[in-house]
Amino acid sequence: MSNGQLHITLIQPDIVWEDKVANLQQYEEMIAGITGAKHVVALPEMFSTGFSMAPERLAEPMDGSSVKWMADMAVKYRCILTGSLIIKEEGKYYNRMLWVQPNGQIGVYDKRHLFAYANEDKHYTRGETKLIAQVNGWRIKLQVCYDLRFPVWARNQGDEYDVLLYVANWPEPRSLAWKTLLQARAIENMCYVVGVNRVGKDGKDNNYTGDSSVFGPLGEAIWQQSNDVACHTVTLEKETLQNVRTKLPFLNDADKFLLL
């Protein structure tokens, strides 16, 4: 693998509603079928259950079976596995995105912006800290679904990160916003943006068209898949990113601010 490349696999599934066993089985089959190099394999938001507001019934601790499964897959298939799960910690529930490495280390990002429209804020505790993960010389900022609507939280302050990675359960009626905002985040932050979503219907009869996407640092579309289950690997080029930022140093002119 070239040090200037990042190989990231997007898995766009039809999530079986609140059925962890069935979901993890389908993901392992998809991961096992990946050919070629892979640094990161990205699953959607709440990938083991779907976007459920029943954490009292579905949440697991950090030493639970789904986290253990992620760790096992990372080792078995020699990749970093990421996606969000319903996690219980110290009596609170979190929509938690995990960054699980084959060496056993696990990074944690708790979803900052909870989707009040679906009462997510009534069931889960919001996160307070960012996470910029690193792999193969790349810096990847982790985000979850509704975070996409809040550009300040994603803002690339200088040369802070190279990739914004969103995992989501983003429904079809607002798919235009999903696709538009992913592209906008790439343009304004001069970075690659990767958005991983799901297809099918959930237990609340919400329909999802997926539209998992990859955009380049000028907003150019690299890959997008709608409607169908998909498992697709893209290769991102560090040289492309560096050339764009050198030729067009727009980030140097951004407003300076601190998040308190």
One DSSP character per residue, 169-227 reads: ---GGGHHHHHHHHHHHHHHHTSEEEEE--EEE-TT--EEEEEEEEE-TTS-EEEEEES
Supply φ then ψ for residue 145, to 5 degrees.
Answer: 40, -100
* 65 DSSP assignment: H
Residues 123 and 53 sit within 8 Å (Cβ to Cβ): yes
Residue 104's contacts (CB-CB under 8 Å, 6 or more residues apart) are 71
Active site residue: 18, 141, 145, 191, which one? 145
Residues in the chain: 260
| Residue 104 vs residues 50, 136, 247: alpha-carbon distances, Å | 26, 17, 39
Out of 18, 20, 38, 45, pick the active-site residue: 45
145 noted as active-site residue: yes
Catalytic residue among 20, 60, 79, 111: 111
Whether 201 sits among the annotated catalytic residues: the reply is no
Which residues form the catalytic set?
45, 111, 145
